[in-house]
């Protein structure tokens, strides 16, 4: 396996239903169908759908899809914060045979909420809990006990939704220490950190957003025991030309990760990220000459 395959295989969960894209169900389902047939389908992860919209998904899916020989779709179901047991009834009622529930995502505002949510969520797939990153010392042991995974929000449609690099670094360190894998969500449309619009409206202000290469290569570097100075420099890098790719390695600054190290990163610590755009990350990688 090459370094780019190790890094990007099934890395991007498609969240077209969510802001800032906020597509209707039929359009999002049609997009995912097209992406699965495209040349970069190997990078595509789950289709993300709220539990409350599973019936709507089934209706759209049956209109758009699919030939019998196609592989089943994998869904990641987002549950309500208030009481995932209500969503559990919707999950139990889901019977679309050509799509199966691969993961479940929920949000906890404190440690006790994490306990309650994990007790209610199905155990049949990966379970991700989003929580305020500062609560990692208390919440991550709960996730470890339940063999669940963490979720960090790396951006949003307003500048104040973008966490500071120091927050991301502490989160990565904590996940590594507790041996809890994570996924990221929101704000990682672009490969490398830089100034970007936060929605697709031309009237939207620009802000400094994180890059998915910065975040995930930083996580990989943390696994090698690198010091915080090197990790922070990786998170803050804004020059795409600094990141160099060959078959066996990804190199930047005076650092490098082998394909084997990256594979270990993706299989033990960093699952991937959710994005309402599948094409923007690919366009960036094409511009960099990686695809």
Backbone angles phi, psi at 171, to 5 degrees: -60, -45
User: How confident is residue 120, by pLDDT bands cut at 50, 70 and 90?
Assistant: confident
Which pair of structure tokens corresponds to residue 282? 């690919």
Residue 267 has pLDDT above 60, yes or no: yes
For 205-235, b/e burial (b = at least 16 CB within 10 A) is eebebbbbbbbbbbbbbbbeeeeeebbebbb
Contacts for 256 with CB less than 8 Å, ≥ 6 apart: 249, 250
Mean pLDDT of 16-35: 96
Structural domain range at position 231 = 3-287
Indicate whether 21 pLDDT > 60.
yes
CB 56 within 8 A of CB 23: no
Please report the pLDDT score of residue 81 as a whole number.
Answer: 65
Distance CA 7, CA 265 (A): 8
pLDDT band at 225 (very low <50, low <70, confident <90, very high): very high
234 pLDDT above the threshold of 90 = yes
What b/e readout covers 39-54, taking b as 16+ CB neighbours within 10 angstroms?
ebeebbbbbbbbbebb
The rounded mean pLDDT for the chain is 93
Q: Examine the pLDDT at 85 and tell me if it is beyond 80.
A: no
- 168 phi and psi, to 5 degrees? -65, -40
- DSSP for 98-111, please give it: TEEEEEEEEE-SSH
pLDDT, position 95 = 75
Provide the pairing of β-strand 244-245 with 249-252: antiparallel
Q: Which residue has the higher pLDDT, 129 or 68?
A: 129
Q: What is the pLDDT of residue 83?
A: 66
Lowest pLDDT segment from 113-127, 129-143, 246-260:
113-127
- Say how far apart CA 98 and CA 75 lie, in whole Å: 11
Predicted local confidence at residue 68, as pLDDT:
54
* C-beta of residue 48 within 8 angstroms of C-beta of residue 17: yes
- Is residue 273 within 8 Å of residue 185, measured between CB atoms? yes
Separation of alpha carbons 176 and 234, rounded Å: 17
Q: What mean pLDDT comes out for the span 124-135?
A: 94
Average of pLDDT values for 62-77? 80
Residue 69: predicted pLDDT = 55
| Residue 9 CB burial class (10 angstroms; 0-12, 13-18, ≥19) | middle
Report the alpha-carbon distance of residue 246 to residue 97 in Å, rounded: 40
pLDDT score at 40: 97
CATH code, 16: 3.20.20.70
| 67 or 34, higher pLDDT | 34
Q: What percent of the chain has pLDDT over 90?
A: 80
Rounded distance between C-alpha atoms, residue 65 and residue 37, angstroms: 12
Secondary structure, 3-state, 227-266: CHHHHHHHHHCCCHHHCEECCCEEEECCEEEEHHHHHHHH
Measured CA to CA, the distance from residue 241 to residue 194 in angstroms comes to: 13
Number of domains in the chain: 1
Please state, in angstroms and as integers, the Cα–Cα distance from residue 267 to each residue in 54, 183, 199, 211, 272, following that order: 28, 12, 32, 20, 10
Percentage of the chain exceeding pLDDT 70? 97
pLDDT at 236: 98
């Amino acid at each position: 396996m090459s370094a780019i395959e190790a890094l990007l295989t099934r890395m991007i969960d498609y969240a077209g239903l969510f802001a800032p894209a906020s597509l209707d169900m039929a359009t999002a389902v049609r997009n995912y169908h097209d992406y699965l047939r495209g040349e970069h389908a190997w990078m595509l992860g789950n289709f993300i759908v709220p539990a409350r919209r599973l019936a709507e998904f089934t209706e759209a899916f049956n209109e758009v899809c699919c030939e019998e020989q196609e592989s089943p779709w994998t869904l990641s179901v987002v549950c309500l914060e208030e009481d995932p047991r209500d969503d559990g009834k919707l999950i139990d009622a889901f019977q679309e045979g050509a799509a199966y529930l691969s993961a479940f995502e929920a949000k906890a505002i404190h440690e006790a909420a994490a306990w309650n949510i994990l007790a209610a969520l199905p155990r049949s797939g990966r379970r991700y809990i989003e929580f305020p990153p500062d609560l990692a010392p208390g919440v991550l042991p709960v996730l470890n006990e339940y063999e669940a995974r963490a979720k960090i929000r790396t951006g949003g449609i307003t500048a104040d939704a973008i966490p500071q690099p120091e927050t991301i670094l502490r989160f990565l360190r904590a996940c590594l220490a507790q041996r809890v894998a994570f996924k990221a969500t929101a704000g990682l449309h672009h490969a490398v950190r830089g100034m970007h619009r936060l929605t697709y409206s031309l009237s939207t202000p620009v802000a400094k957003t994180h890059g998915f290469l910065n975040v995930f290569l930083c996580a990989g570097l943390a696994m090698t025991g690198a010091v915080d100075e090197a990790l922070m420099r990786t998170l803050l890098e804004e020059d795409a030309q600094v990141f160099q790719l060959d078959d066996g390695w990804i190199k930047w600054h005076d650092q490098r990760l082998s394909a084997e190290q990256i594979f270990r990163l993706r299989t033990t610590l960093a699952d991937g990220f959710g994005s309402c755009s599948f094409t923007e990350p690919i366009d960036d990688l094409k511009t960099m000459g990686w695809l």
